[in-house]
């Protein structure tokens, strides 16, 4: 059972975190039609929540997995999680590169007030 739990943790980090980043970045660069400024702020807040969650999980899941694998004395998953810091850094570098290519900051941004208020 513990192997399944460690596997779920590893694959949640390996596939779930990049998925959250992609969804957050796609939402960040899209310009959706929203009828009110409040809806635009809610859209921006959801986008920021996705990106923040991805950033936190990118660090927390590999650390938790490595710790749990060591505590369980599971060499198979300990080897997998031993390489995860490289993946963490890679994901942060890709996000930083996306942030440097963006026209505005990735975090704390909401669409302008004029959307749909005309």
Residue 23: pLDDT over 70: yes
The answer to the question of residue 115 being in a domain is no
Three-class DSSP category at 3? helix
CB 72 within 8 A of CB 7: no
CA atoms within 13 A on the CB side of 20: 19
The pLDDT-based confidence of 118 (bands split at 50, 70, 90) is very low
Total tally of structural domains belonging to the chain: 1
In a domain, 106, yes or no: no
More confident residue, 91 or 105: 91
In a domain, 109, yes or no: no
Tokens representing 7 are 């596997």
At 13 the three-state DSSP class reads helix
Evaluate if residue 14 carries a pLDDT over 60. yes
pLDDT computed for residue 13 by the predictor: 92
Q: pLDDT tens for residues 92-102?
A: 898 888 777 76
Residue 103: band (very low, low, confident or very high) from pLDDT cuts 50, 70, 90:
low
Domain-located, residue 81? yes
> Diameter of the chain by CA atoms?
62
Classify residue 21: in a domain, yes or no.
Answer: yes
Report yes or no on 43 lying in a domain.
yes
Q: What is the per-residue DSSP string for 58-74? A: HHHHHHHHHHHHHHHT-
Considering the domain boundaries, does residue 111 fall inside one? no
Enclosing domain of residue 92 = 2-101
Range among 36-40, 41-45, 107-111 with highest mean pLDDT value = 41-45
- Tell me whether residue 73 is in a domain: yes
């Amino acid at each position: 059972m513990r192997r399944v739990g460690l596997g779920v943790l590893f694959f949640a980090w390996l596939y779930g975190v990049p998925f959250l980043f992609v969804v957050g970045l796609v939402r960040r660069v899209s310009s959706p039609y929203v009828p009110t400024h409040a809806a635009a702020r809610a859209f921006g807040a959801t986008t920021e929540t996705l990106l923040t969650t991805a950033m936190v999980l990118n660090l927390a899941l590999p650390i938790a997995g490595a710790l749990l694998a060591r505590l369980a004395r599971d060499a198979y998953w300990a080897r997998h999680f031993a390489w995860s810091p490289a993946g963490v850094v890679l994901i942060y570098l890709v996000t930083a590169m996306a942030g440097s290519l963006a026209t505005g900051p990735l975090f704390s941004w909401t669409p302008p007030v004029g959307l749909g208020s005309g």
